[in-house]
């Protein structure tokens, strides 16, 4: 059996990649994908430790998170599409007009 | 095998009422398109009132439901009533404003109700996963509301920025929750506390830190505040008023409960972090507010600085002497902030014109002569924000500082006092502009805005006279659990 620390390391790597993606990438869709990566890193941690503890609650939480992520997709993509329609770009630097 | 009892549903009843009301209103909005624009705000306000009555019955309840996932106590009841009050004020502020700006759509009110139900859940959460779900329930409608003036470009931009950074923050929060789960095998507050002795300290401290980051984003603490000025400026002003109070109150409620109930054992690690956040928030919020020429942005930075004052009290959570006063003073300050905040946004809305005009400091010149009532109310709000007697803001700050001193954090209190002095500069500048500079501001004749401003200003002054008994009552009635 794969030790739980391996899952932990993988999830930490995924989370870091996601966080870096949000900070570095400028395309709204890619930023959004990176956020999903962060959520899934947490999911992996939940599932791995649910197995370690022999408990089901961690696996149930993953369903909650997936449902929340789906709701976020609905709102987020709608926002991005709306912005693309009015500005023909989803580059965050070009979208940003308010300063100060 | 856990089973549901009548008590579980009694605890959840206000949420059930509010959410089913909101769902019903969605249907109403589809089938009653011809009923006139006044129907939805009226029905939403009615729903909030009914929910408020159900909450009021819970004031003396002291119970846990759904296996500890939800908690009903004076703290959660107070918070629920505060956000319901905020919701009612927002409806009053919104109706004419949305019509005038051509943004009136019935979904606006439904989204607000959903968001309020999330805020109520934040205060009642007894489980980290419920905190996460409540945070999403309050945030997702707010993302839509921020972009509600679509196709206004600023509003779209505000919606997208709020969404991306909000979702980023909930990613941090969720990973923190997962780490705490990894450390203790549970997310329930009581079970985490029970498992602390055997918990992996590194997981636990990292998890607590990430949860702090996630909630720090929501309450706009520096360095997680980047979204605040843009989102506050770009959103419809009624939405800004709503999220300025609602998101902050809910975020602090969850933060206070999590820190006091779950993480007293890591207070040695977390207190310096919280103190650092406090100092950064106070300094950055107040200094950047000085540089603003747009009143909405100035109020946004002012809102950041108020998050700093609240954090100042929260960072005293490790001290046994202060924890009781901490909760009472945070709730009290939120009430003072709510009144002054809604009032000042009402004045801003009275001067706002289409396409974001009428929002600069220069547009306020001569307001003292043109609309003496509004200007006088604005003076009261600015004094309350600064913390000058006789306003509720002074009493609020007094109790916050007392809490910090009780915990022996003199340095933090000093930073708080100094930054308060700095804040006087930009608040008083608005007063100077209104009374000393000549101009002819264009003010909308909107009675609901004038009444809101007048009543909240009156409440800010009158409640100050009763601050002492009010605080004592709050401390005794609400806080048995802590």
The stretch B375-387 carries a mean pLDDT of 96
Q: Which of A35, A75, A92 sits opposite B143 (nearest CB)?
A: A75
Beta-bridge partner residues of B71: B64
* Residues in chain A within 8 Å Cβ distance of B185: 49, 53, 55
What is the rounded (10 degree) CA torsion for B378, B384, B390, B394? 180
Distance from the Cα of A13 to chain B's closest Cα (Å) equals: 12
- Which regions of chain A are under pLDDT 70? 99-100
With 70 as the cut, is the pLDDT of residue B370 above it? yes
Q: Is B251 within 8 Å of B115 (Cβ atoms)?
A: no
A30 Cβ under 8 Å from any chain B Cβ = no
User: What is the model's pLDDT at position B30?
Assistant: 87
Residue A62 in contact with partner chain B when CB distance is under 8 A: no
Q: Are B69 and B127 within 8 A, CB to CB?
A: yes
CA proximity to B303, closest of B229, B230, B412, B236? B229
Residues from chain A that touch B177, judged by Cβ atoms under 8 A, are 42
- Across the interface, do B157 and A98 touch by the CB < 8 Å criterion? yes
Q: Where are the domains of chain B?
A: 265-482
Question: What is the structure's pLDDT at B482?
Answer: 56
Selecting from A11, A38, A86 the residue whose C-beta is nearest the C-beta of B151 gives: A86
Domain ranges of chain A: 4-88
Q: Which of B150, B168, B179 sits opposite A45 (nearest CB)?
A: B179
Q: Average pLDDT, stretch B253-278?
A: 91
- Note the pLDDT tens digit of each residue in B334-361: 999 999 999 999 999 999 998 888 999 9
Indicate the pLDDT class of residue B22, thresholds 50, 70 and 90: very high
User: How many Å apart are CA B282 and CA B304, to the nearest integer?
Assistant: 8
Q: Is the pLDDT of residue B376 over 80?
A: yes
- Cross-chain residue pair A19–B182, CB shorter than 8 Å: no
- Average pLDDT on B217-236 reads 94
- CATH level 3 topology of A4-88: Helix Hairpins (1.10.287)
Indicate if ipTM > 0.95: yes
Whether residue B263 is predicted with pLDDT greater than 80 in this model: the reply is: yes
Which chain B residues have a beta carbon less than 8 Å from that of A54? none
Mutation for testing the A interface, residue in B130, B142, B168, B178 having most A CBs under 10 Å = B178
Exposed, middle or buried, B34 (CB in 10 Å: 0-12/13-18/19+)?
exposed
Rounded to whole angstroms, the Cα distance separating B151 from A83 reads: 8
* pLDDT attached to residue A100: 55
- Distance, in Å, from the CA atom of B55 to the CA atom of B69, rounded to the nearest integer, reads 18
- Of B369, B392, B372, nearest to B466 by C-alpha is B392
pLDDT digits (tens, 9 = 90+) for B154-166: 999 999 999 999 9
In a 3-state reduction of DSSP, which class is residue B423?
Answer: helix
Q: What is the mean pLDDT of residues B160-186?
A: 95
pLDDT tens digit sequence for B77-97: 999 999 999 999 999 999 999
């Amino acid at each position: 059996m794969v030790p739980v620390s391996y899952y932990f390391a993988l999830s930490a790597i995924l989370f870091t990649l996601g966080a870096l993606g949000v900070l570095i990438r400028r395309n709204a869709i890619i930023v959004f994908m990176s956020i999903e990566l962060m959520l899934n890193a947490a999911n992996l941690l939940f599932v791995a430790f649910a197995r370690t503890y022999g408990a089901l609650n961690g696996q149930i939480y993953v369903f909650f998170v997936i449902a929340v992520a789906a709701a976020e997709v609905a709102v987020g993509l709608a926002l991005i599409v709306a912005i693309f329609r009015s500005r023909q770009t989803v580059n965050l630097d070009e979208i940003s007009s308010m300063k100060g | 095998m856990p089973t549901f009892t009548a008590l579980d549903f009694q605890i959840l009843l206000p949420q059930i009422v509010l959410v089913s009301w909101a769902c019903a209103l969605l249907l109403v909005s589809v089938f009653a398109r011809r009923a006139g624009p006044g129907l939805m705000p009226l029905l939403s306000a009615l729903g909030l009132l009914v929910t408020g009555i159900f909450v009021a019955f819970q004031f003396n309840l002291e119970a846990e439901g759904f296996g500890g996932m939800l908690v009903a106590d004076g703290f959660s009841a107070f918070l629920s009533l505060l956000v319901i009050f905020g919701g009612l004020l927002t409806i009053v502020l919104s109706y004419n404003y949305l019509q005038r700006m051509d943004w009136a759509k019935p979904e606006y009110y439904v989204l607000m109700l959903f968001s309020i139900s999330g805020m109520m859940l934040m205060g009642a959460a007894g489980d980290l996963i419920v905190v996460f779900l409540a945070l999403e329930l309050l945030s997702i409608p707010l993302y839509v509301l921020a972009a509600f003036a679509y196709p206004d470009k600023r509003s779209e931009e505000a919606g997208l920025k709020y969404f991306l950074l909000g979702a980023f923050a909930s990613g941090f929060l969720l990973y923190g929750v997962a780490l705490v789960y990894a450390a203790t095998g549970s997310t329930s507050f009581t079970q985490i506390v029970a498992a602390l002795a055997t918990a992996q300290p590194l997981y636990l401290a990292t998890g607590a830190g990430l949860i702090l980051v996630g909630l720090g984003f929501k309450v706009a603490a520096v360095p997680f505040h980047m979204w605040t000025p843009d989102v506050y400026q770009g959103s419809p002003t009624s939405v800004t008023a709503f999220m300025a109070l609602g998101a902050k109150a809910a975020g602090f409620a969850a933060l206070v409960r999590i820190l006091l109930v779950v993480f007293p054992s890591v207070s040695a690690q977390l207190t310096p972090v919280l103190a650092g956040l406090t100092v950064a928030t106070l300094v950055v919020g107040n200094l950047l507010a000085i540089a603003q020429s747009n009143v909405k942005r100035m109020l946004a930075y002012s809102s950041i600085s108020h998050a700093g004052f609240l954090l100042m009290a929260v960072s005293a959570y490790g001290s046994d002497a202060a924890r009781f006063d901490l909760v009472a003073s945070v709730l009290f300050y939120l009430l003072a902030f709510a009144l002054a905040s809604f009032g000042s946004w009402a004045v801003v809305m009275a001067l706002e014109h289409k396409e974001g005009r009428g929002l600069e400091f220069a547009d306020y010149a001569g307001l003292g002569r043109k609309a003496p009532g509004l200007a006088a109310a604005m003076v009261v709000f600015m004094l309350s924000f600064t913390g000058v007697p006789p306003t509720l803001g002074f009493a609020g700050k007094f109790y916050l500082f007392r809490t910090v001193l009780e915990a022996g954090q003199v340095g933090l209190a000093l930073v708080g006092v100094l930054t308060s002095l700095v804040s006087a500069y930009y608040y008083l500048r608005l007063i100077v502009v209104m009374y000393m500079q000549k101009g002819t501001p264009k003010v909308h004749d909107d009675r609901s805005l004038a009444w809101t401003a007048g009543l909240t200003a009156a409440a800010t002054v009158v409640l100050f006279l009763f601050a002492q008994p009010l605080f004592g009552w709050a401390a005794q009635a609400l806080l048995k659990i802590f």
